[in-house]
Amino acid sequence: MSHPAPRTIVCAGGGGVGKTTTSAAIALALARRGHRTLVVTVDPARRLASAMGVEVGENVMEARVEGGIEDKLFALMPEPRRSTRTFIDLLFEDEPEAKARMLENRVYLLLADAAAGMHEVVSLMLVAKAIEERRFDYLVVDTAPSRQGLDFVSYPGRLATLYEGRAVTWLGNLSGRPDTSDDGEVRDESGGLLAAGRKRIESLFGKLLNPRTLRDLAGLFAELAIVKDRFARLARVSEQLLVGPTTRYLLVAAPTGSAAADAQFLSRRLKRLGQHPTALVLNRADPSFPAWVDELPSEGMPAELTAALEVVRGDFATRVRAGDHLALSLKSDLPRTPAVRLPTLEARDPSRIVRTLADLLGPHLGLLAGA
C-alpha cells in the first residue's frame, strides 16, 4: 500500500437501530474536523444515498451533505445484486478467457447467489482497491443489519485460507482431472496423505451430484485457482483493514425488542474475534423530554392540538422509558463499555437527520473514533 492505512471504525448492531445513519453521521463529524473519510455501507438505503448526494454503485463518490467539507467526505455503497458480477470483474480483470468461463459456470452463479457474505466480501474488496488508489484518514464501515453482521470481519480471512492452501487446487482436480500439484500427492495441514482420501471423497460427491455438475464444480475451482494469489492478497488487505490494531468497534442499539440481546451477542462475537467494543451508541434513547415540549402552553389550546400534544407526550414518555430500559440493561451486560445516548430525531429530510446526528456525535469523537 502506498498510503498509510486509514483508521477503521466498524459499526455493528441488529436490524432497525439506525446503523447506516449513524455511520454516515460519524463520517460527517470526522470530515468536519478535516479528516478525509470514506463511509462504506453494505446494506445501501437509496434514500440515504440520495440524501448524501451519492449513488448506489461500485465507485467511491464524494458525498454532498453540506458545504465547507469539500474533498473530505466520500461514500461507497455497492449494490448487493451486482456482487456476483463485481466479484468476477475484480478478480479476473487480467484473465478474459477464464472470466468468460466463470460467467457461464452454473455452479458459480448458484453458489455466489446463495453465498452469505459474498456481498460483504465484494464490498471490502472494493474498499481495498479504493484505499490503494487514494489516501483516507478514516474508514467507517456499516455492517449488515443482523447478528451475523460481524461474521464478515472473519470472512476475508476464511476465504483467504481457501485460496492460500491447497483446497482450491484440490477441488479443481476433482472427478479425474490430472493432479497438477508438484508432488502428485496432497497433504492436509496435519501432514496426512490425501490422495487416497480423494477417491473416497469423490465417490461421496458422486452420490450427491451427477457427473456434469461435479465437473462444473471442479471447473469453478480450477478457474478460481488461476486468480488465487490476487484473491488472497485482496482478502488479506481487507482483513487488515478490519482487524488492525487501531480498529474501533461501535455497537449501535435502539429500543427495539431485540436490541439489548443483539448488542450482547455481538459483543460476545467480538470477544471471539479477539476484539472488544469501543463504545455503545444508543439511538432513539431519549434521555428526557426535549425542553421545547415544556415550553408549550399547558392550557387554552384548541382540542385537536391538545389531543395531538397528548400523542406526542405519550411518544416521548415511551421513548424516555424505553431509553432508560435500554441504557440500564446494556450497562449491566457491558459495564465497562461507555455509552453515548442519543435522542430520537425526526425530520422529513434524511440529510438533515445525518447533520443533526453529526452535531450530537461531534463532542464524542475522541471516544468513538480516537480523533
- Residue 353, C-beta contacts closer than 8 angstroms, at least 6 positions apart: 21, 345, 346, 347
In the complex with other proteins, which residue's Cβ is closer, 129 or 166? 166
Of the candidates 295, 298, 336, 366, which one interacts with other proteins according to CB under 8 A? 295
126 binds other proteins (CB under 8 A): no
Tell me whether residue 84 is exposed, middle or buried, using C-beta atoms within 10 angstroms of its C-beta: 0 to 12, 13 to 18, 19 or more.
Answer: buried
* 54 three-class SS: coil
183 binds other proteins (CB under 8 A): no
Name the strand (E) or helix (H) holding 24.
Answer: helix 19-32
Across 341-371, b (16+ Cβ under 10 Å) vs e yields bbbbbeeeebbebbbbbbebbbebbebbbeb
The phi, psi pair for 179, rounded to 5°, reads -75, 120
Angle at Cα 124 formed by Cα 273 and Cα 162, nearest 5°? Answer: 65
The C-alpha R_g of the chain, in whole angstroms, comes to 25
210 binds other proteins (CB under 8 A): yes
Touching other proteins, residues 240-259 (CB under 8 A):
256-258
In the complex with other proteins, which residue's Cβ is closer, 261 or 360? 261
Q: How far is the CB of 5 from other proteins (least distance, A)?
A: 26
In the complex with other proteins, which residue's Cβ is closer, 45 or 371? 45
* 139 three-class SS: strand
In the complex with other proteins, which residue's Cβ is closer, 1 or 347? 347
- Residue 173, C-beta contacts closer than 8 angstroms, at least 6 positions apart: 179, 180, 181, 198, 218, 222
334 binds other proteins (CB under 8 A): no
- Residue 150, C-beta contacts closer than 8 angstroms, at least 6 positions apart: 10, 12, 143, 266, 269, 270, 273
Of the candidates 5, 33, 53, 80, which one interacts with other proteins according to CB under 8 A? 80
Of the candidates 93, 104, 188, 229, which one interacts with other proteins according to CB under 8 A? 188
Taken as a whole, the chain contains a residue count of 371
Touching other proteins, residues 86-105 (CB under 8 A):
none
Touching other proteins, residues 34-53 (CB under 8 A):
45-47
321 binds other proteins (CB under 8 A): yes
293 binds other proteins (CB under 8 A): yes
Count of chain residues binding other proteins (CB under 8 A):
74
In the complex with other proteins, which residue's Cβ is closer, 111 or 365? 111
312 binds other proteins (CB under 8 A): yes
Q: What is the DSSP letter of 302?
A: -
Is there a contact between 21 and 39 (Cβ–Cβ < 8 Å)?
no
Of the candidates 1, 195, 196, 296, which one interacts with other proteins according to CB under 8 A? 296
Candidates 12-20, 70-78, 83-91, 96-104 — which segment interacts with other proteins by CB under 8 A? 12-20
311 binds other proteins (CB under 8 A): yes
Of the candidates 301, 331, 338, 363, which one interacts with other proteins according to CB under 8 A? 301
Is there a contact between 361 and 26 (Cβ–Cβ < 8 Å)?
yes
In the complex with other proteins, which residue's Cβ is closer, 19 or 72? 19
Q: How far is the CB of 110 from other proteins (least distance, A)?
A: 5
Cα separation, 154 vs 243, in Å, equals 9
Site string for other proteins, 141-170 (x = CB under 8 A): ----xxx----------xx-xx--xxxx-x
Of the candidates 71, 96, 272, 292, which one interacts with other proteins according to CB under 8 A? 292
In the complex with other proteins, which residue's Cβ is closer, 134 or 325? 325
Candidates 60-68, 91-99, 122-130, 307-315 — which segment interacts with other proteins by CB under 8 A? 307-315
Q: What nine digits make up the cell of 50?
A: 440520495
16 binds other proteins (CB under 8 A): yes
